[in-house]
Amino acid sequence: MVHMFGWFKRWLSARPVSPPPAPRPAQPSGSPRLKSYQAESGHVYQYFFEGRHCHGRETAFLFSVTAQRTAPQRVSVVLPEASLAPFERETGRRLAENERYGVAKMALFRLFDASEKPEQLASGARVDEAHAREYLQVLDL
**β-pair partners for 116:** none
Counting every residue written for the chain, the total comes to: 141
pLDDT in the model for residue 15: 63
Phi, psi of 22 (to 5 degrees): -65, 135
Radius of gyration, CA atoms only, the chain: 25
Residue 68, φ and ψ in degrees, nearest 5: 45, 50
pLDDT for position 129: 93
What stretches in the chain show pLDDT beneath 70? 1-9, 11-31
* 0.85 exceeded by pTM: no
Please report the pLDDT score of residue 5 as a whole number: 64
**Strands, E assignment, the chain:** 35-38, 44-55, 58-67, 73-80, 125-126
